């Protein structure tokens, strides 16, 4: 499903990602853990096509398609979704207008019919109910004035509406209270499917109790330095990243 | 001086002659005159004036009086006992300056419109290419008048003088859509507001080879209000919004919001001045100008200023000129929205706020749809 080979990414001429390789097959959930500044968000942003992140080497394919050659909106329409570590506020643009535009532009790209307003509203109501999002929140301009946790929940709501094929969750758990963590995790698990893949970036093992990963990768200094099963997350929680930091420096 | 093309456009009337004498003696103001620094009238009006062409794109909103202003004069339909319209030779009652002398000199005759005390009415004015109007608007005490002006022109010079007197606790709401794409347009409005009265202006400027829109508002009586809003969307156009609000009395309020975007070849000018006279205590005034430059160029010159002679006032102004928020654009693209649609959504949201105070939805929606289809042409 998502195949990354020897990926190198620079920001402002500074190399952050140093030959990262990763393979997430369809139907699997992989977790990425790693110290602050290791390059986890850099990987997410580069895959999504942020213009400030320059890919200087390597490849990334989604279902056999080279996504690095596509515009960000084309990557989205191909099924890639990033739940941002820091979701943005879009003043003046109502949440549902924004989402309907996104959904219909994606559908147009894929040669599908536009969703009518009633169809869209029905889907929005269902997803909002599942994620315990108040109608009032949907009426506001996107994320404007939302708390950190509300913004994260809104990311998952968008994900539910856009039904992507591959999802990257960049620290979606940070900022969520205990109840919200459960609700959001349920929402994420609801989307697990044999034809979907997922990359979950987190600092805390606790999220992985809710969203059970097939594999856990350790990202240090811009590359994957270790891979294991769910038990690796428990071990990291206990011992930290010392042994890997020593290795790369 | 007789080589100035504008002289040929002045009417043979007494006020046309006055304008001719004035221009022959003083010339038209050029960019060395501070008030015209960003819009050099002398230069703009020296060249040959093209003959007028182009149509008004009208929403044909219903109105109590409809005025079709053409290059040959005005055609008026629908007056009543409460809302009277008369042809008069010339308007007077305000302080003359170079712009008033010029626009008065371009018009053949004037219309005087009176809305009787306590009444409510709407006037629609469709301003065609080459129209040269002069209007004296009287809104008697407690009356509420709305004027919707739609203007369309591709070539030629149009002009307009409006002298409005708003009575006690009366209001005038003026909505102006200007599509003067390849044409020139010089406008002057003088608005006097009596005690407890209100002037509210909403303008949408979508282009023009040269537009100079001057508005002077005099808040004359206690508790008078001015609510001035304008949005501009410019590509290969020069648009100048120059507004001066004078606070002559205590407890008056001014709220100004001007926002716009410029693309390739767009040149925006905003000169906003609020002058608070010595006895205008408890004045409350806020003025905001925000401009966005699209990546393919254009220019914005904004000069907001406050001149305050009273000591117990609350006045503020804000002025920003910048580009679209790149990270917001990326966020939207990451959700599958094309860059062009993302820009349009952001700009539409940004400009629509200029019309937030329009109570009636149909007018607001209409303004927003006009913003939208112009954006489609401007945003690359
Ligand atoms: N716009 C930028 N300009 C310069 N350096 C940047 C920029 N963005 C990120 N970096 C640097 O790149 C490195 C990797 O950052 P990144 O955000 O990918 O870390 P991360 O692994 O996601 O960390 P965290 O766990 O704190 O979210 C850091 O050293 C960071 O300072
Ligand atoms: Mg990060």
DSSP B6: G
Give A65 Cα–ligand 2 centroid separation in angstroms. 26
Other CB atoms within a 10 A radius of the CB of residue B148 amount to 22
Q: What three-state secondary structure class fits B99?
A: helix
pLDDT at B13 over 90: yes
For residue B240, being part of any structural domain is answered with yes
Structure tokens at B184: 């020139």
Q: E strands within B237-361?
A: 237-247, 253-262, 266-276, 284-293, 299-308, 314-322
Q: Please, which residues bridge with residue B368 across strands?
A: none
Domain span holding position B277: 5-322
Q: How confident is the model at residue B2 (pLDDT cuts 50, 70, 90)?
A: very low
- What residues contact residue B191 under an 8 Å CB cut-off, 6+ apart? B162, B164, B166, B172, B199, B215, B216, B217, B218, B226
Q: Please, which residues bridge with residue A216 across strands?
A: A31, A228
Q: Check B335 against A50: CB less than 8 A apart.
A: no
Q: What is d(CA B198, CA B355) in angstroms, rounded to the nearest whole number?
A: 17
The helix or strand, by DSSP H or E, that contains position B102, with its residue range, turns out to be helix B98-106
Query: Contact, B150 vs B93, CB < 8 A?
Result: no
Query: Contact, B137 vs B125, CB < 8 A?
Result: no
Structure tokens at A3: 């195949």
Minimal CA separation from B332 to chain A, in Å: 8
Give A97 Cα–ligand 2 centroid separation in angstroms. 28
Structure tokens at B129: 């290419």
Question: Quick one: which ligand is closest to A38's CA?
Answer: 1
Query: Contact, A16 vs A37, CB < 8 A?
Result: no
The helix or strand, by DSSP H or E, that contains position B215, with its residue range, turns out to be strand B198-219
Q: Give the total number of structural domains in chain B.
A: 1
Closest to A102 (Cβ–Cβ): which among B327, B330, B336? B336
pLDDT at B129 over 50: yes
pLDDT in tens, A152-210: 999 999 999 999 999 999 999 998 999 999 999 999 999 999 999 999 999 999 999 99
pLDDT at A228 over 80: yes
Query: Contact, B72 vs B57, CB < 8 A?
Result: no
pLDDT value for B3: 56
Q: How confident is the model at residue A248 (pLDDT cuts 50, 70, 90)?
A: low
Which residue of chain B comes nearest to A101, CA vs CA?
Answer: B337
Give A42 Cα–ligand 1 centroid separation in angstroms. 6
For residue B307, being part of any structural domain is answered with yes
Contacts of B335 in chain A (CB under 8 A): 73, 76, 98-99, 102, 158, 162
DSSP A50: -
Structure tokens at A37: 């500044």
pLDDT in tens, A95-137: 999 999 999 999 999 999 999 999 999 999 999 999 999 888 9
The helix or strand, by DSSP H or E, that contains position B69, with its residue range, turns out to be strand B65-70
> CB distance from A204 to chain B under 8 Å?
no
Burial class (CB in 10 A: 0-12, 13-18, 19+), B4: middle
pLDDT value for B314: 97
Mean confidence (pLDDT) of chain B: 94
The helix or strand, by DSSP H or E, that contains position B183, with its residue range, turns out to be strand B171-193
Q: What is d(CA B290, CA A233) in angstroms, rounded to the nearest whole number?
A: 50
Give A168 Cα–ligand 2 centroid separation in angstroms. 12
Atom 27 in ligand 1: residue holding the nearest Cα: A36
Q: What is d(CA B161, CA B146) in angstroms, rounded to the nearest whole number?
A: 17
> CB distance from A105 to chain B under 8 Å?
yes
pLDDT at B263 over 90: yes
* Ligand 1 atom index nearest CA of A44: 18
Quickly list H helices, A6-94.
Answer: 40-48, 72-77
For residue B253, being part of any structural domain is answered with yes
pLDDT in tens, B185-222: 999 999 999 999 999 999 999 989 999 999 999 999 99
pLDDT at A63 over 90: yes
User: Which of these ranges, B10-19, B45-54, B154-163, has the smallest mean pLDDT?
Assistant: B45-54
For residue B339, being part of any structural domain is answered with no
Please name the fold of domain A2-248: Rossmann fold (3.40.50)
* Ligand 1 atom index nearest CA of A39: 18
Minimal CA separation from A100 to chain B, in Å: 10
What average pLDDT does this structure show over B117-126? 97
Torsion region of B340: left, alpha or beta (phi above 0 gives left; psi -120 to 50 gives alpha): alpha
For residue B222, being part of any structural domain is answered with yes
Q: Which long-range contacts (CB under 8 A, 24 or more apart) does A171-174 make?
A: A171/A85, A171/A201, A171/A202, A171/A203, A172/A83, A172/A200, A172/A202, A172/A207, A173/A202, A173/A204, A173/A206, A173/A207, A174/A85, A174/A148, A174/A202, A174/A203
- What residues contact residue B309 under an 8 Å CB cut-off, 6+ apart? B275, B276, B277, B278, B280
User: Which of these ranges, A136-150, A190-204, B229-243, has the smallest mean pLDDT?
Assistant: A136-150
């Amino acid at each position: 499903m998502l195949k990354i080979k020897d990926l190198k990414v620079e920001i402002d001429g500074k190399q952050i990602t140093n030959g990262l390789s990763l393979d997430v097959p369809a139907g699997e959930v992989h977790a990425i853990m790693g110290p602050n500044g290791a390059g986890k968000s850099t990987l997410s942003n580069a895959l999504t096509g942020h213009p400030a992140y320059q890919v200087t080497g390597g490849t990334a394919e989604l279902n056999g398609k080279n996504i690095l050659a596509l515009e960000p909106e084309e990557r989205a329409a191909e099924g890639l979704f990033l739940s941002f570590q820091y979701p943005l506020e879009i003043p003046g643009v109502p949440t549902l207008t924004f989402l309907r535009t996104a959904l219909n532009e994606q559908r147009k790209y894929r040669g599908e019919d536009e969703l009518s307003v009633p169809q869209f509203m029905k889907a929005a109501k269902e997803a909002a109910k599942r994620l315990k999002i108040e109608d009032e929140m949907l009426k506001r301009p996107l994320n404007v004035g939302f708390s950190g946790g509300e913004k994260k929940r809104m990311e998952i709501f968008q994900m539910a509406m856009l039904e992507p094929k591959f999802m990257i969750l960049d620290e979606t758990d940070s900022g969520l209270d205990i109840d919200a963590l459960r609700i959001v995790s349920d929402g994420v698990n609801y989307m697990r499917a044999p034809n979907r893949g997922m990359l979950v970036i987190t600092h805390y093992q606790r999220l992985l109790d809710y969203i059970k990963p097939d594999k856990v990768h350790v990202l240090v200094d811009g590359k994957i330095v270790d891979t294991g099963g769910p038990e690796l997350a428990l071990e990291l929680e206990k011992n930290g990243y010392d042994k890997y930091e020593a290795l790369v420096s | 001086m007789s080589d100035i093309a504008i002289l040929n456009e002045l009417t043979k009337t007494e006020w046309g002659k006055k304008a001719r004498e004035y221009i022959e003696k003083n010339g038209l103001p050029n960019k060395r005159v501070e008030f015209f620094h960003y819009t050099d009238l002398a230069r703009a009006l020296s060249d040959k004036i093209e003959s007028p062409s182009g149509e008004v794109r009208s929403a044909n909103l219903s109105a109590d009086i409809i005025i079709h202003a053409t290059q040959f004069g005005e055609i008026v339909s629908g007056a009543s006992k409460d809302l009277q319209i008369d042809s008069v030779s010339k308007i007077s009652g305000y302080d003359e300056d170079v712009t008033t002398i010029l626009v008065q000199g371009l018009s053949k005759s004037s219309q005087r419109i009176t809305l009787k005390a306590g009444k409510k009415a709407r006037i629609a004015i469709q301003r065609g290419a080459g129209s040269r109007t002069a209007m004296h608007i009287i809104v008697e005490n407690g009356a509420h008048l709305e004027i919707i002006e739609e203007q369309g022109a591709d070539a030629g010079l149009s002009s307009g003088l409006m002298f409005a007197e708003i009575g006690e606790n009366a209001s005038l709401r003026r909505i102006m859509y200007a599509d003067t794409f390849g044409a020139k347009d010089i406008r002057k409005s003088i608005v006097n507001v009596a005690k407890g009265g209100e002037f509210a202006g909403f303008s949408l400027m979508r282009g023009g080879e040269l537009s100079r829109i001057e508005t002077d508002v005099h808040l004359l009586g206690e508790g008078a209000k001015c609510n001035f809003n304008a949005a501009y969307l410019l590509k290969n156009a020069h648009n100048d919004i120059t507004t001066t609000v004078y606070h002559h009395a205590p407890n008056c309020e001014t709220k100004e919001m001007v926002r716009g975007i410029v693309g390739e070849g767009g040149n925006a000018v905003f000169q906003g001045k609020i002058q608070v006279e010595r006895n205008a205590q408890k004045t409350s005034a806020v003025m905001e100008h925000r401009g966005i430059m699209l990546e393919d160029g254009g220019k914005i010159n904004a000069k907001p200023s406050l001149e305050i002679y009273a000591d117990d006032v609350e006045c503020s102004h804000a002025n920003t000129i910048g580009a679209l928020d790149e990270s917001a654009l990326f966020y939207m693209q990451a959700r599958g929205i094309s860059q062009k649609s993302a820009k349009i959504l952001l700009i539409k949201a940004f400009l629509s706020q200029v019309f937030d105070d329009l109570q009636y939805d149909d007018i607001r929606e209409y303004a927003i749809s006009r913003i939208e289809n112009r954006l489609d042409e401007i945003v690359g």
